[in-house]
Amino acid sequence: MCAGQAGHGGAYQRLLTEISGWLTHYFQRRLPAGDADDAVQETLMAIHRRRHTYDPHYPFKAWLAAIAKNKWIDQLRAMGRRPSEELPGDIAVADHEAAVTSASVLGSLLEQLRPAQAQAIMLVKLQGYSIEDVSRETGLSPSAVKMNIHRGLARLTVFLEKSHDVD
């Protein structure tokens, strides 16, 4: 940067090329892809316009990071001002009553089981974990996990057969 301030064009071009890579990485982690490219260009232009404000007695990266941060904030503000597309009022919305009812009934059924049985059924049968994963998580042997699932499902079957109001 010092050489660029002194008028050395080759050094200044090299500086812009090198910081362009850093800026790209900086903005790609913080902005959507199209906005990241715009932010890099805006920041490079700001650096060019403000190059006379850099003081060689202070770290260059701190100066660069401050400009990048300000341009990031400007980009976020611009994104917030963009017109958003209105959603039509007649969008079909799924009825979630059956799912909510099922989840409620399932929760009350699992409460009828021993905690180890309910946990094993929940993790393996509902959330898709393997027997080995549940074994590691709970500290039980794989055989004990399988046994808890088997006995828990058997208890649920008996409970459901005795209930007349559950469909």
Kindly state the helix (H) or strand (E) to which residue 89 belongs, with its residue range.
none
Q: Do the Cβ atoms of 16 and 47 come closer than 8 Å?
A: yes
| C-alpha–C-alpha distance, residues 66 and 11, integer Å | 22
| C-alpha–C-alpha distance, residues 69 and 83, integer Å | 24
Q: Do the Cβ atoms of 37 and 20 come closer than 8 Å?
A: no
Higher pLDDT, 81 or 152: 152
| C-alpha–C-alpha distance, residues 36 and 57, integer Å | 30
pTM listed for this prediction: 0.46
Q: Which long-range contacts (CB under 8 A, 24 or more apart) does 53-57 make?
A: 54/1, 54/5, 56/1, 56/2, 56/5
Higher pLDDT, 152 or 78: 152
pLDDT range class, residue 70, cuts 50, 70, 90: very high
Domains and CATH numbers, the chain: 2-81 (1.10.1740.10), 110-162 (1.10.10.10)
Q: How far is CA 54 from CA 7, 41, 60, 72, 147, in A?
A: 14, 19, 8, 20, 70
Residues whose CB is less than 8 angstroms from the CB of residue 87 and which lie 6 or more positions away in sequence, other chains included: none
Instruction: Determine which of 38-47, 65-74, 102-111 has the lowest per-residue pLDDT on average.
Output: 102-111
Average pLDDT, the chain: 85
| C-alpha–C-alpha distance, residues 72 and 60, integer Å | 18
Query: What proportion of the chain, given as a percentage, has pLDDT over 90?
Result: 34
